[in-house]
Amino acid sequence: MKKGFLTVVISILLSGLTAYAIVKSSTPAQGESQPMVYSSDGQAVRTVNLSLSDYPDFTYAAENAVEAVVYVKVTIKPQQQQQQIDPFFRFFFGDEYGYGNRERQGSGSGVIIRQDGYIVTNNHVVSGATTIQVTLNNNKTYDATVIGTDPATDVALIKIDASGLPTLQFADSDKLRLGEWVLAIGSPLGEELRSTITAGIVSAKGRSMPNYNGEFKIESFIQTDAAVNPGNSGGALVNKEGELVGINTAIVSTTGSYTGYSFAVPSNIVKKVVSDLIDFGSVKRAMLGITGGTVNEEIAKKMKLSTPEGVYVSEVVKGGAADKAGIKSEDIITDIDGTRISTMPELQAKVNSFHPGDKATVKALRDGKPMTFTVTFQDGNIENGTVGSDGTVAFYGAQLKAVENGVQIVSAGNGKLAQAGGEDGFIIRFVNDQKVTKPQDVIDIAKKSKRSIFIEGVTANGRPGYFGFGKDE
């Protein structure tokens, strides 16, 4: 009887100790919140306790990077007539930009990249400026001069007379991942909000924007949800380590203010452009020599591809780098030097990282079979009037030759002439109302033109056609 009683007592004690241990192990320590249990569709759902250490810490990146981001104030020269401006950048100067004769003020941001005063910003921030002033985070103000600009990437390099300045180091923007945290630093809405820091994530890569002016653009933007507003243009996009991964450039908005999406030029593009501007005074742009576009579902079905990825080559420029390497129309480019190519903006960005004369391995699909080519990039900045090995003459990215009834566009290429509507096979008969019979006539008339070039002729189908474009300033 006693033995049975002791057994019961011991069992009760063991059960009690076990229950206490379970309760103790699940009870939060002092200062911790109690996990809550909810019912969702009849199943228990338990919340997870998060401490401050579970959230990203931006303090180091913010405190260090903000010292290298500057406020840029510009004075815009008077215009005698309305100046066309891409609505994509309208938010920077406002709707009245381009009107009237009085001087106007604009502002943006910039990033110090060298201790001796070199600052990178956007081309649209300093374009047309008669004076540029830069204010550092320590409130010191300097006059700045333009070292060089690159409208195709919307990058500009300016310089102030100073030394020992804080700088930002370039990161490899190709290594950015979707969902990665980033900080946007700049001066939104003017001088009163200088050195403003916002946080967000990388929500997309390789984005391109509508091009309302028909100008040649190289775009492979980093898209983020970090808040960016007028004045942030030219400011820094940095990673958690405080390294520069992009230059904030624009927003997409129907109101002119931030609505959830902002875009930055990747640091790899910026680094190459800035290096060229410092070393050569202009950008040495490599050219692959193709036209095409991102593979869509229709092309993927036609080419019997498993996924709609890559760049479809619709045309190869005769005598160009791709042509000489053996790439043909209807090839699908999938990789350049180990970088996966899924879209046309990604291809443009990758090609833009090379210099003329550089070699690269290009992988492609032809009739479903993998192909590998070694490409030697050509100079994409061929001057008008340059005669090619095939006898054609360069004109705004196109190749011209004399024919019986005018001047034929042998290859429109992908430069300003093609962007304006010039097509292969088009016969140029008149330039600015003057008859032409040879390529040199076209070039001579274009040189004399002060503002624009208007071309009339006959399309490859025999129909009358015309197009025009503005000259480079």
Which residues participate in catalysis according to the annotation?
124, 154, 233
- Burial environment of residue 207 by CB neighbours within 10 A (0 to 12, 13 to 18, 19 or more): middle
* Angstrom distance (rounded) from CA 341 to CA 328: 17
Residue 320's CB is within 10 A of a number of other CB atoms, namely 22
Q: What angle is formed at CA 209 by the lines to CA 175 and CA 145, rounded to 5 degrees?
A: 80
SS3 434: strand
Contact residues for 130 (Cβ-Cβ < 8 A; gap 6+): 75, 76, 77, 103
* Angstrom distance (rounded) from CA 246 to CA 170: 9
Asked if residues 393 and 440 have their Cβ atoms less than 8 Å apart, the reply is yes
* Angstrom distance (rounded) from CA 313 to CA 299: 11
Pick from 326, 336, 329, 316: which is nearest to 367 by CA?
A: 329
SS3 400: strand
Hey, CA dihedral for 176, 178, 180, 185, is it positive or negative? positive
Hey, CA dihedral for 402, 403, 406, 411, is it positive or negative? negative
Report the chain's terminal Cα–Cα distance, integer Å. Answer: 110
Tokens of 19: 């229950």
Contact residues for 146 (Cβ-Cβ < 8 A; gap 6+): 126, 129, 132, 156, 157, 158
Cα–Cα separations (whole angstroms), residue 2 to 6, 7, 8, 13, 15: 6, 9, 10, 17, 20
What does DSSP assign to residue 170? B
Contact residues for 269 (Cβ-Cβ < 8 A; gap 6+): 153, 155, 173, 218, 220, 349, 352, 353
Pick from 431, 436, 468, 465: which is nearest to 446 by CA?
A: 431
* Angstrom distance (rounded) from CA 80 to CA 90: 19
List phi, psi (to 5°) of 269: -70, -45
